[in-house]
Amino acid sequence: MICLSPITIWASKQQDVLGTKHKSFKIRLANKYCWWFERLFIYWCSNIHSHRIRLFFYKKIYRINLEKDVVIYSGAEIRNPNGLHIGKGSIIGSNAILDARAGIDIGKNVNFSSNVSIWTLQHDYRDPDFACNPKHYGPVKICDRAWIGPNSIILRNVTIGEGAVVAAGSVVTHDIPPYEVWGGIPARYISKRPQNMRYEFKGTYCHFL
C-alpha cells in the first residue's frame, strides 16, 4: 500500500500532465523527497499539544479512517495513514508506532498503552538485497476491547482477538485467541480473561498530551 500524501498526489498529477521525459526539476525533487516530507509533517502533527487539532489533521489532511470518540495521544508515528482504521472509542497511547503500510485495523474500545509498536513489514534477512518479500509483510487486526500493554510489539500477519490482553513488553508473533492473556518474548498464553466485558470509552482524554 502506498501513502497518498498531498505531496505525492500533486507529484503524480504533474507527471500525468508533463509526461515522463519532461519532468521539471521541482517534479523530480518532489518524487524523491515526498516520503520524507510525509514522515516529517505527520511527526510535526503528532507533537501538536491539542487533541482536537491533531485529530483534524489526521482526519481531514491524512484521511485516516477514524470513528467517533477516538483518542490518539502525542508522539504517534504513523506510516501510510491511508492503511489505518481505528474503531469507535479506541485509545492510542503516547509514542505509538503504527506501521500501516500493509494495513492495520483496530476495533472498538481498544486500549493501547504507551510505546506500543505495530510492524506490518519486515526485511528478509536471507534475501541478497535485504528486501521485504511478500512472505514478510501482512496486515494486523486488533479486535474490540483488546488491551495492548506498554512497550509491546506486534508483528505482521497477526490478529489479536476480541477482549484479549497483551502483557507489557511482549513481542507478539502469532494470533491471540479472544479473551486470553498473553505475554513474554515471544508472547505465550498466560491465562483467561472474563468474557463479560461491557465497557465503552467515550473519547475522554488528558489535555495537552
Closest CA to 74 of 99, 92, 60, 101: 92
C-alpha cell at 169: 513488553
Length of the chain: 209
CA 117 to chain centre: 8
Residue 187 CA to residue 52 CA, distance in Å, equals 35
Greatest Cα pair distance in the chain: 63
Residues 45 and 66: beta-carbon distance below 8 Å = no
77: left (phi over 0), alpha (psi -120 to 50) or beta: beta
Which of 22, 49, 85, 123 is labelled catalytic?
123
Q: Is 194 helix (H, G, I), strand (E, B) or coil?
A: coil
Q: Establish whether 123 is a catalytic residue.
A: yes
Residue 112 CA to residue 135 CA, distance in Å, equals 27
Residue 166 CA to residue 38 CA, distance in Å, equals 31
Residue type, 36: W
Supply φ then ψ for residue 154, to 5 degrees: -120, 125
DSSP-derived letter for residue 81 is: G
Catalytically annotated residues: 123
